[in-house]
Amino acid sequence: MNKEYLNDLFSRIADVTVCVVGDVCLDIYWHADMKKSVLSRETPHFPLPVTEERYSLGGGGNVMANVSALGVKAVLPVSVLGADWRGYLARECFKNISANAAGLITDETRVTPCYAKPLRQGISDVVYEDPRLDFENRSPLTERTENEILAALDKAAARADAIAVSDQLEYGVVTPRIREMLCELGKTMPVIVDSRDRIALYDNVIIKPNEFEAAGALGGGFSDPAAAAKALSAKTGAPVIVTLGDKGAVWCEGKNAVFVRSTPAEPPVDPVGAGDTFLAAFAAAYAAGAAGPEAVEFANLAAGVTVKKIGTTGTATESEILQLTIKN
Ligand SMILES: Nc1ncnc2c1ncn2[C@@H]1O[C@H](COP(=O)(O)OP(=O)(O)OP(=O)(O)O)[C@@H](O)[C@H]1O
Ligand SMILES: [Mg+2]
């Protein structure tokens, strides 16, 4: 993918609107400097003195941040936040990305999903991660909120050139009714879906499993990703992408599967969030008119940028993607 092609693609991406449906999660990093810790008088513990706190959008929110970083005309998030402190902080994070907040619904009965990571550092430079504190919903959305999401999705879909879906949480924003609407929308516009556990429930949309999720969606027994992609495409009636970690991805349309190689990033790498960046970049490029294999190649490049961002999910910008292309 040469520089001229990328420049042209970015100028077209600047004209597209991408709707992102998924759970906005808050990723928290609390850095504790244990050199400052003094034994507690009340308990036999050394407290974690937090000297730095970082907050960023995770889950579907990370896909939204990634779409925004690519410089699209508009990001239209469709999600639900709680009326809690985490919802407040997530909304603050949205101020750093250009996204239209109209589809961010507040429901005071919901928990804003959040993953808080305490990180300890002592005398050496090594950072140790303590067990994470997870906040998640344990029950489905109310029908009232679900109706609000359906209405927000209807509005956003009418304006969008593509819809990216992050269906990751058991009691998340993508309920069976919302999934049904997404499958219906997939018949008339590009809808691209990522889901660890529910990819098998989609039809008429472009699904983007990794090779293990693809095999799982077929009931196991598929070791060849191209064969898995073809079998899934026959089932969904739409193109399929199977991502292959540092090897790239397979794009399959009808009976045709092509392997789109990526350049493995030099270690150290942090693959957390690579799938989110891939989904965001593919959706933006495909919405901008790139053909499937080209949009996959572009997504490989964007994800290749974020796997180099250690200890954070991260986003990829135009200049970072161009720099990586020149390097490779
Ligand atoms: N080490 C790497 N070097 C370069 N690119 C990578 C590397 N790992 C992943 N990628 C890119 O990220 C994409 C998605 O990676 P992968 O197949 O691991 O997805 P995933 O398992 O869904 O990831 P996630 O853990 O984010 O859910 C790959 O198709 C590739 O483009
Ligand atoms: Mg994934």
Give the C-alpha separation, 133 to 231, whole Å.
39
Give the C-alpha separation, 210 to 284, whole Å.
19
pTM of the model: 0.97
Q: Give the C-alpha distances (Å, rounded to integers) separating 272 from 244, 321, 323.
A: 14, 18, 21
Q: How confident is the model at residue 15 (pLDDT cuts 50, 70, 90)?
A: very high
Q: Which residues contact 152 (CB under 8 A, 6 or more apart)?
A: 78, 102, 103, 105
Q: What tens digit of pLDDT does each residue of 51-91 get?
A: 999 999 999 999 999 999 999 999 999 999 999 999 999 99
When pLDDT is averaged across residues 209-220 and rounded to a whole number, the result is 95
From 307, 313, 328, mutation site for ligand 1 pocket: most ligand atoms within 8 A of C-beta:
307
Instruction: Say if residue 245's pLDDT is above 90.
Output: yes
Q: What proportion of the chain, given as a percentage, has pLDDT over 90?
A: 92
pLDDT of residue 10: 98
Give the C-alpha separation, 306 to 326, whole Å.
16
Amino acid letter for position 24: V
Which residues form the pocket of ligand 1, taking CB atoms under 6 Å from any ligand atom? 210, 243-246, 248-249, 262, 264-265, 269, 271-276, 278, 300, 303-304, 307
Q: How confident is the model at residue 99 (pLDDT cuts 50, 70, 90)?
A: confident
Q: What proportion of the chain, given as a percentage, has pLDDT over 70?
A: 100
Q: How confident is the model at residue 39 (pLDDT cuts 50, 70, 90)?
A: very high
59 in Cβ contact with 22 (< 8 Å): yes
The backbone region for 212, taken as left when phi is positive above 0, alpha when psi lies in -120 to 50, beta otherwise, is: alpha
Third-level CATH fold of 3-25+71-112+138-327: UDP-N-acetylmuramoyl-L-alanine:D-glutamate ligase (3.40.1190)
Domain locations in the chain?
Answer: 3-25+71-112+138-327
pLDDT of residue 325: 87
